[in-house]
Chain A
């Protein structure tokens, strides 16, 4: 099976600074890597995703990079805002929507 590790488990940044969350995966067959944001009391919501044939993807303040050789991918949030505070999960999909989630990163943006 797939094993996804995520670091750090908690992250505090000042408003306006950047935040970076890193994940590694074990199964080289994984080809889809979504990132989810979970706010308190809500279900996870997709914020960005990347497929194995792409090395980087950006959507406004959010970007994801993927290094297939090293089997790691990262989430970058620039110009952080208080509303970015949430738990973020990376995931890897190796056989078709059997997402293996990382252990989550609790991000706090300090105003």
Chain B
């Protein structure tokens, strides 16, 4: 059973398009995250949700909009895609938001052409 699953695994799209990445966790965790990993492997948090409520929103362009329909899902919608958005996006979840292990999905490699 996959603990944190995200779809799609690969996404190639043209500049200006709008795309979504879906994430689901079956661990019963309260907190979910989106991280961006750039070409140099640097991992940076984008958003954090606790029980469907946004608790962290790093300096991310407002073209990125997370949506959490329930605490098991956290989707990421990106409008007007730009070349610089190309990266691997990881969804993760943790039991709570106070220093506990984060479980990561397998990543979505987004390529904007």
Q: Assess A43 versus B99: contact at CB under 8 Å? Given A87-B41, A101-B44.
A: no
List residues 83-107 of chain A with CB under 8 A from any CB of chain B. 87, 89, 93, 96-101, 103-104, 106
Which residue in B43, B98, B104, B105 is a CB contact (below 8 Å) of A97? B98
Q: Do the beta carbons of B106 and A43 come within 8 Å of each other? A: yes
Q: Assess A99 versus B45: contact at CB under 8 Å? Given A43-B90, A93-B99.
A: yes
Q: Do the beta carbons of B42 and A97 come within 8 Å of each other? A: no
Assess whether B48 is interfacial by the CB under 8 Å rule: yes
Q: Do the beta carbons of B41 and A96 come within 8 Å of each other? A: no
Contacting chain B: which of A44-52, A54-62, A64-72?
A44-52
Please tell me the number of chain A residues within 8 Å of chain B, measured between CB atoms.
Answer: 25
Total contacts A to B, CB within 8 angstroms? 58
Closest beta carbon of chain A to B79's beta carbon, Å:
25
Which residue in B41, B90, B92, B98 is a CB contact (below 8 Å) of A103? B41
Q: Do the beta carbons of A97 and B40 come within 8 Å of each other? A: no
Closest beta carbon of chain A to B110's beta carbon, Å:
15
Assess whether A31 is interfacial by the CB under 8 Å rule: yes
Q: Assess A96 versus B43: contact at CB under 8 Å? Given A43-B105, A43-B106, A45-B104.
A: no
Q: Assess A104 versus B41: contact at CB under 8 Å? Given A44-B104, A46-B102, A97-B48.
A: yes
Enumerate chain B residues within 8 angstroms of A98, measured Cβ to Cβ. Answer: 45, 48, 56
Q: Do the beta carbons of B98 and A96 come within 8 Å of each other? A: yes
Q: Assess A44 versus B43: contact at CB under 8 Å? Given A97-B31, A99-B102.
A: yes
A-B pairs with lowest CB-CB distance, top 3: A43-B104, A32-B99, A101-B43
A interface residues with partner B (beta carbon < 8 Å): 31-32, 34, 36, 38, 41-46, 49, 51, 87, 89, 93, 96-101, 103-104, 106
